[in-house]
A and B are shown apart, each in its own frame.
Chain A
């Protein structure tokens, strides 16, 4: 047999073998999946099974796999007291900690490292923790893994927090600061930011009762040479904490530092966050910051701040200025805030309508008039085109549409008295009656308008009687 035929036969045979492998895989995978599902269910549901398996690992040196660790964690989480302690003890004896440690050292994957750290926290083992943490901080710096570290530390400490002596507490605080500082020194902004959040959120979540830690931590960060960006995150979280009113923990000294940092801010994001946190929780202390921020040089800061200005009194000038701001978002947010304030806000918007600032007029018109018709009317008012106004009002009346604009025209001196009379003559629905009633109550109407209105009223009344 020649080499070529032999080669042909070999390739054909190989193809047949591969084909059978495919078939084998097909049937075998189905079988394996069933077994795996069953096994995982057993692991996760039966504590005795878990302990039994741990025992087997410990005595027979059976290989530990990742599913198994998953199930141990599940069981540790599910049980308390003796059962829980038993699993932890068995896990330690079975060499799970060592296995995890070895795995961690080899793993470059965040998810794996996270699981191992989580497990360390669960079994409250500080074994080799320092070493791993150091590697993580200096070599890898993965924010999510550090997050897990932090929570693991917190879990370990929280359980016995009351019993922990002063020395350990100080050590813990020291460690926190070390992590924070180490992260701050890395050049990757995002990681830095995330990690800062991680550390502080950890404190907020696990040590609410220990406000002293926070206070100390805050002051230490503020007084250190840590970058402004990182400090920004601290300020934000502290502000958030303060406005939520969970606990008082910022002293006057911290407040002073906070103000100073805001003034010297390196970026706007921080201030925006602060404004939001003050604004959303309506905190008195924040009012000053918000009004000052509304005068800021950056449009995004102004746009955010103006949304949260509470009082109109005393801020009229500021509002008028912002209504005519060069940026659309600022104008829009100002008008929106004013319209939400009710009559006083509307009054300011109407004043802007009469003003000379084109931007202010436009943004007020947009907010005051709902719908397309309203915008058109206001535009024609500025153009002095009464015929078109009357046409539109007629169309509005016939369609029974929103008549806010009509109110504005009749109440305010946007058009002349003669024009108002003409407008009244066109109106025929109940909205007019409301207006008339209001004007009588206010007693600030013009006689000529009053006469026209009375006539119109009679007309409407007569029509109603006939109908």
Chain B
């Protein structure tokens, strides 16, 4: 029994060591990449991009479902408070049962347009396309309910420009976010098929008319933990994977895609399979990877390490649990539907490194880590392992975890420095330490719950409670 415990504990130690080593490798990659990006930033002449008629025009697709209360305010931001030379906004009303559509039709003085569009992607029927008399670049698509992915596909069909951006109606964008995100496309128009940016936490910040006036550290404790978490996820993970062209996800809240490439891949997945798509954003990016790698065409999915959009994170346990569960379900289904890419050399770094990483250190992590946190103390208390092994486990699991979070803060400090007050920096550091004593484990449990729900066949989005701005 003792031998068994020792073997198990060694396995846990090994798991945590490899996980933290990979985190560290990712940090080094991100650090060098972000430094390079920052050095080049002064050269990016956004005024030139804004004035140039060579900047590719874009279509912004905003899916809306039962958002009567906030839709006008949110769409107004995309229409008037936004810097981009040429763009159109397509709001897709996905069969809302409240007054979302009527409100928009009234506010924007819409009329039914005989607008021709190509049904490149199969979607639920589009009932009408409205054009606004007030804003020439606004189109409102009214369709039968089919889910977010279906709404986005309908938006792609109606869009007229070569690049499209998917935005959640409640996302707050920086004025020039799309000028920043189009830069990789301008630099390499042939290869870049999708780009995305960092999403920041908005809780506690001063918002005026859906614009960020002042970035503040959140007041809510859960949100404070999530600030550190988001930093780690976006600054660390995504950019590093983007450097080796193995970025597996561009957040649905903010992204830019080459329309022709997405059409080649068949758009967003809408099929209701065993694993119903709640992670349509990740699914699409994986489809793009798969498509181009199978065709052996050169392509690039880039990540801009710049906070371009902001979102409100959950401030209560229930919403957080729902969100994390949903994310994990999304990850599970994407891994499942792309299982043939795993450990497959045909897909390059994505198949050999990135996907196994996501499988072992993201998908399986909640189960392994929670088991580790339960079994290791049990083994120690029953004298099945030595104190050395136990301390080693704690050092790796907790202290190296703290180190990763501190490194993420350090990276943020060197690069963007959104939180400039000493008080905020100290608070961030404290929460980076504290998250390893309860918060992290809590989110692990939520993720396990999500896994169970997925296996049991529950596939709803759950309720996302937001305080609003």
**With contacts A11-B403, A29-B413 known, is A70 near B429, CB below 8 A?**
no
Most B CB contacts (10 A, CB to CB) among A110, A188, A191 go to A110
B54 touches A144 (CB 8 A): yes
Q: Which of B43, B162, B403, B422 contacts A15 (CB 8 A)?
A: B403
Q: Quick one: CB contact mask for B336-361 with A, threshold 8 Å, 1 for yes?
A: 00000000000000000000000000
Which one, B184-192, B284-292, B455-463, is touching chain A? Answer: B184-192
B395 at the A interface (CB under 8 A): yes
Q: Quick one: CB contact mask for B4-46 with A, threshold 8 Å, 1 for yes?
A: 0000000000000000000000000000000000011011110
B42 touches A188 (CB 8 A): no
CA distance A395 to B298 in the complex (A): 68
CA distance A109 to B45 in the complex (A): 13
Q: Which residues of A contact B429 (CB under 8 A)?
A: 19, 22
B417 touches A29 (CB 8 A): yes
B47 at the A interface (CB under 8 A): no
Q: Which of B43, B390, B392 contacts A111 (CB 8 A)?
A: B43
Closest CB in chain A relative to B268 CB, distance in Å: 24
Closest CB in chain A relative to B281 CB, distance in Å: 26
Closest CB in chain B relative to A236 CB, distance in Å: 13
Q: Which residues of B contact A67 (CB under 8 A)?
A: 42
Q: Which residues of B contact A188 (CB under 8 A)?
A: 189-190
Closest CB in chain B relative to A12 CB, distance in Å: 6
A191 touches B189 (CB 8 A): yes
Q: Which residues of B contact A111 (CB under 8 A)?
A: 40, 43-45, 183, 187
A22 touches B406 (CB 8 A): yes
Q: Quick one: CB contact mask for A134-178 with B, threshold 8 Å, 1 for yes?
A: 000000001110010000000000000000000000000000000
Q: Quick one: CB contact mask for B45-77 with A, threshold 8 Å, 1 for yes?
A: 100000010101000000000000000000000
B42 touches A66 (CB 8 A): yes
Residues 42-67 of A contacting B (Cβ, < 8 Å) = 66-67
Question: Which residue of chain A has its CB nearest to the CB of B400?
Answer: A11
Closest CB in chain A relative to B132 CB, distance in Å: 16
Question: Which residue of chain A has its CB nearest to the CB of B433?
Answer: A15
Q: Which residues of A contact B417 (CB under 8 A)?
A: 29
Closest CB in chain A relative to B186 CB, distance in Å: 6
A328 at the B interface (CB under 8 A): yes
Q: Quick one: CB contact mask for A407-438 with B, threshold 8 Å, 1 for yes?
A: 00000000000000000000000000000000
B409 at the A interface (CB under 8 A): yes
B409 touches A26 (CB 8 A): no
CA distance A321 to B388 in the complex (A): 93
Q: Quick one: CB contact mask for A3-18 with B, threshold 8 Å, 1 for yes?
A: 1110110011011001
A26 touches B422 (CB 8 A): yes
Closest CB in chain A relative to B372 CB, distance in Å: 16
B308 at the A interface (CB under 8 A): no
Interface majority SS on A: helix, strand, loop or mixed? helix
**With contacts A8-B394, A67-B42 known, is A14 near B403, CB below 8 A?**
yes
A373 at the B interface (CB under 8 A): no
CA distance A66 to B36 in the complex (A): 13
B42 touches A110 (CB 8 A): no
Q: Which of A3, A15, A66, A143 contacts B406 (CB 8 A)?
A: A15
Q: Which residues of A contact B388 (CB under 8 A)?
A: 2-5
Closest CB in chain A relative to B425 CB, distance in Å: 6
Closest CB in chain B relative to A371 CB, distance in Å: 13
B407 touches A18 (CB 8 A): yes
Q: Which residues of B contact A7 (CB under 8 A)?
A: 391-392, 395-396
**With contacts A2-B388, A25-B414, A329-B114 known, is A12 near B399, CB below 8 A?**
yes
Q: Which residues of A contact B409 (CB under 8 A)?
A: 22
Q: Which of B52, B188, B406 contacts A18 (CB 8 A)?
A: B406
Q: Which residues of B contact A108 (CB under 8 A)?
A: 187-188
**With contacts A111-B43, A115-B43 known, is A22 near B425, CB below 8 A?**
yes
CA distance A293 to B409 in the complex (A): 63
A194 at the B interface (CB under 8 A): yes
B389 at the A interface (CB under 8 A): yes
Closest CB in chain A relative to B380 CB, distance in Å: 12
Residues 370-396 of B contacting A (Cβ, < 8 Å) = 387-392, 394-396
Residues 107-131 of A contacting B (Cβ, < 8 Å) = 108-112, 115
A190 touches B394 (CB 8 A): no
CA distance A5 to B388 in the complex (A): 7
Closest CB in chain A relative to B108 CB, distance in Å: 19
CA distance A328 to B40 in the complex (A): 50
A242 at the B interface (CB under 8 A): no
A19 touches B406 (CB 8 A): yes
Interface CB pairs A-B, < 8 A, 6: A4-B388, A109-B43, A111-B43, A111-B44, A194-B54, A328-B114
Interface set of B (CB-CB < 8 Å, partner A)? 39-40, 42-45, 52, 54, 56, 114, 162, 183, 186-190, 387-392, 394-396, 399-400, 402-403, 406-407, 409-410, 413-414, 417, 422, 425, 429, 433
* 6 shortest interchain CB distances as A-B pairs: A328-B114, A11-B399, A4-B391, A4-B388, A111-B43, A18-B406
Q: Beyond A11-B399, A15-B403, A197-B54, list 13 extra A-B contacts (CB 8 Å).
A: A7-B392, A15-B399, A15-B402, A18-B406, A26-B425, A66-B42, A66-B43, A111-B44, A112-B43, A142-B187, A190-B189, A191-B189, A191-B190
Interface set of A (CB-CB < 8 Å, partner B)? 2-5, 7-8, 11-12, 14-15, 18-19, 21-23, 25-26, 29, 66-67, 70, 108-112, 115, 142-144, 147, 188, 190-191, 194, 197-198, 327-329
